[in-house]
Amino acid sequence: MSNSKKYVVDTDFIEATYKLNVSLQEFLLLLYFVNADDLIFDLERISSKLKIDKKDILNAFNNLISKNIIKLESDKNELGKRIDKISLEGFYHDIEVEKIKEKKKLIKEDIFTIFEKKFKRPLYSQETELIKAWSEEMYNEDLVLAALDEAIYNGAVNTKYIDTILYEWQKKGIKTKEDVENYYQNKNINNENNKKLEETSVFDYDWLDDYDK
């Protein structure tokens, strides 16, 4: 039975390399570095382990560097001898970027689901594009959902009405869900104060004095 090392590859690695559009040799070289006990660039050893010609290894290595997926950095060992080591920081950064993109994509898919549940019907393609523009380019996502709730409350189940709400809020400087809550809270307070002022002016009026005249 062979005692050669088994290289482990996880889903994140596969997805990242696929999106980075790497060749088979580049994929294998990255896989070697990810599983390596050390990150010293030893051409002889790498060629022997991967069973790939040294020329192809160098070609794959240079391509990975040119794509900023890996870097070659100089370091010193315990004896003070200068050695070349591989940095995978760029590759791991790309993996994290892809994770963030996927997370944002899921969030955006969720907002469409929320709209369809509130509208109680599938979205039209024009509506989907408009909602996407709102949440990705123009407004905070929570603000878009707050405008959706406002439209539903007013019985207007359409994106045109929501677009108007968002536009009016933007003119008033409302940028977040908290801004919406504060705006309506202050509006209710002002309405209550105006109502009290009207009641006071009515009851303070001297009706008998007016009758005598």
Q: What is the CATH number of the domain that holds 62?
A: 1.10.10.10
Q: Is residue 5 part of a domain?
A: no
Answer for the pair 169, 163: CB distance below 8 angstroms, yes or no.
no
| Whole-prediction pTM | 0.46
Number of domains in the chain: 2
Q: Are residues 78 and 36 in the same domain?
A: yes
Handedness of CA 178, 181, 184, 186 (dihedral sign): negative
Q: Are residues 114 and 191 in the same domain?
A: yes
**Range(s) of the domain holding residue 134:** 109-197
pLDDT at 119: 92
Q: Is residue 100 part of a domain?
A: no
> Which residues have C-beta within 8 Å of that of residue 194, sequence separation ≥ 6?
none
CATH code of the domain containing 172: 1.10.10.630
pLDDT in tens, 118-170: 999 999 999 999 998 998 878 888 899 999 999 999 998 899 999 999 999 99
Closest CA to 144 of 156, 134, 133, 154: 134
pLDDT at 145: 92
Could you report the average pLDDT of every consecutive run of 10 residues in the chain (213 residues)?
A: 62 82 90 85 88 92 90 76 82 80 70 91 92 86 91 90 92 88 75 52 43 47
